[in-house]
Amino acid sequence: MPKCAVWWAGPRMAQRLQDPHIQPKVGRMIQEVPMLLQPATDVRLRAYAPYSRFKVGAAIRATSGAVHVGCNVENVAYPEGTCAEAGAIAAMIAAGDTAIAEILVIADSPAPVPPCGGCRQKIAEFAAPDVKVTLCTTDGAQKVMTVADLLPGVFTAAHMAKA
Ligand code: THU
């Protein structure tokens, strides 16, 4: 997976978390960080979240190598809001890509926030079960999972084989 080296400020919150999947970035040091972190961080700032005030950014590396981003876009009619992951997927499809090689999601949260149930199914539509999903906080905590970790027992076209 492509990575880049950046200066990274360590979190306080992540140090308190017990989850072994969470890799707190402690201290000020050069870390290898996912190449999707910067685009997801940037797009998160453009989220439209006046109701929840919870801004989320998502970045997808498609199998073509192109990077596609999305942020949550809320609506006064609350159910009409869309998640960051859905936005990134829409951008990917609009750009002509159809396969996710990797996805990263970031939010300002005490712990890396996993995609909601609906987004898990949306991601699974375009990603193989072993595709890496990196969940990040703006404090620098990261949790790395796979699509299969996120959505065991995913509904697939194979389940409609008798239809
Ligand atoms: N949200 C996302 O964009 N992605 C997630 O993975 C979790 C939740 C958004 C939806 C809504 O705008 C806000 O976060 C609060 O739920």
The pTM (predicted TM-score) of the whole model is 0.83
| 70-87 confidence digits (pLDDT tens) | 999 999 999 999 999 999
Q: Residue 30's closest CA among 3, 4, 6?
A: 6
Looking at residue 5, its pLDDT comes to 40
C-alpha angle 147/46/25, rounded to 5°? 55
Looking at residue 7, its pLDDT comes to 35
Looking at residue 4, its pLDDT comes to 44
b/e 129-158 (16+ beta carbons within 10 angstroms → b):
eebbbbbbbebbbbbbbebbbbbeeeeeee
Residue owning the nearest CA to atom 6 of ligand 1: 115
Given a cut of 80, whether residue 132 has pLDDT beyond it is yes
CA of 81 to the centre of ligand 1 (A): 9
Residue owning the nearest CA to atom 13 of ligand 1: 54
CA of 46 to the centre of ligand 1 (A): 14
Q: Assess whether 85 carries a catalytic annotation.
A: yes
| 15-48 confidence digits (pLDDT tens) | 444 454 555 555 544 556 789 999 999 999 999 9
Q: Which residue has the higher pLDDT, 22 or 124?
A: 124
In total, the chain counts a number of residues equal to 163
Report the chain's mean pLDDT, rounded to a whole number.
87
Residue owning the nearest CA to atom 3 of ligand 1: 83
* Active-site residue, selected from the candidate residues 32, 74, 85, 125: 85
Please state the domain extents for the chain: 1-31, 35-160
Class of domain 35-160: alpha beta
Most ligand 1 atoms within 8 A of CB, residue of 43, 55, 76, 83 to mutate: 83
Minimum-distance ligand 1 atom for the alpha carbon of 83: 3
Distance CA 39, CA 60 (A): 9
